[in-house]
């Protein structure tokens, strides 16, 4: 498609933004539309997409919300690597051309928007809440104090914003769409490792199945792309420790 230029150009620097466009109801493959977009040092990929949407092609489909790497909505492939569009600056990509595509390993809804329903339903299967008969609040409820060491066991894993980037980077998910995936396995670990929780055996049973934890072959790409500093590959290894009896 011909390259269009933003009328709001105020910066001397411009980047060519290539946006994958497709509607699975009509198209068998994506086409790329190209736009010339001005940017400053702080312009994010999401800013550039929204500039295109406002001034050049309002049909571009993109999902976003918080614009501060908290909601996890704007995950996409940016120059081939899964990332949050609101958390990726054009200036840091060091490229005259930025290509944005929908995340791998999810069904495409349209353009840059993928269907995350499968990830959320697998996440729910992990029972992502504290299981403890004492978790009902009553008149006798007291604080459940934890030591810093006990908190350290799970705290990084509670930073997951469910953006789905780790599942998108996972080579096992690319070949086995039934694989539970790093996002869900990490959340299983987050609760198993919490000493307030009593649901360890339930969760270990859920993950110890044919499309479960043993399908991970430890590529580690999930941990490389996580925007919140979660290390899903480590969480998966720690969970295996419980199943193999190294951890109690
Ligand atoms: S573990 Fe990281 S990459 Fe995976 S869904 Fe959570 S925040 Fe996103």
Q: What is the pLDDT along the chain (248 residues), one digit of tens a residue?
A: 556 666 555 568 999 999 999 999 988 888 999 999 999 999 999 999 999 999 999 999 999 999 999 999 999 999 999 999 999 999 999 999 999 999 999 999 999 999 999 999 999 999 999 998 876 778 888 888 999 999 999 999 999 999 999 999 999 999 999 999 999 999 999 999 999 999 999 999 999 999 999 999 999 999 999 999 999 999 999 999 999 998 88
Tell me which residue has its CA closest to atom 2 in ligand 1.
226
Q: CATH class for domain 4-114? A: alpha beta
Tell me which residue has its CA closest to atom 4 in ligand 1.
166
Q: Which CATH number fits domain 117-243: 3.90.1150.10, 1.25.40.10, 3.40.1390.10, 1.10.1060.10?
A: 1.10.1060.10
All structural domains of the chain with their residue ranges: 4-114, 117-243
Q: Which residues pair with 118 in a beta bridge?
A: none
Residue 232, ligand 1, Cβ within 6 A: yes
Tell me which residue has its CA closest to atom 3 in ligand 1.
226
Residue 123, ligand 1, Cβ within 6 A: no
């Amino acid at each position: 498609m011909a390259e269009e230029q933003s009328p709001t150009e105020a910066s001397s620097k411009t980047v060519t933004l290539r946006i994958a466009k497709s509607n699975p109801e009509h198209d068998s493959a994506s086409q790329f539309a190209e736009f010339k977009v001005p940017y400053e040092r702080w312009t994010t990929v999401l800013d550039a997409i929204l500039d295109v949407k406002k001034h050049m092609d309002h049909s571009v489909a993109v999902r976003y919300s918080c614009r501060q790497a908290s909601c996890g909505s704007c995950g996409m492939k940016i120059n081939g690597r899964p990332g949050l569009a609101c958390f990726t600056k054009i200036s840091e990509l060091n490229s005259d051309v930025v290509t944005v595509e929908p995340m791998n390993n999810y069904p495409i809804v349209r353009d840059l928007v993928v269907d995350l329903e499968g990830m959320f339903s697998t996440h729910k299967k992990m029972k992502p809440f504290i299981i403890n008969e004492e978790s009902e609040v009553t008149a006798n409820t007291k604080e459940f104090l934890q030591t810093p060491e006990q908190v350290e066991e799970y705290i990084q894993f509670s930073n997951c914003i469910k953006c789905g980037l780790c599942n998108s980077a996972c080579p096992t998910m690319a070949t086995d769409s039934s694989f539970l995936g790093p996002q869900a396995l990490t959340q299983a670990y987050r609760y198993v490792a919490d000493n307030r929780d009593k649901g360890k055996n339930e969760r270990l049973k859920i993950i110890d199945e044919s499309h479960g934890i043993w399908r991970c072959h430890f590529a580690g790409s999930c941990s490389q792309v996580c925007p919140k500093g979660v290390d899903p590959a480590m969480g998966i290894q720690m969970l295996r420790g419980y199943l193999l009896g190294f951890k109690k």
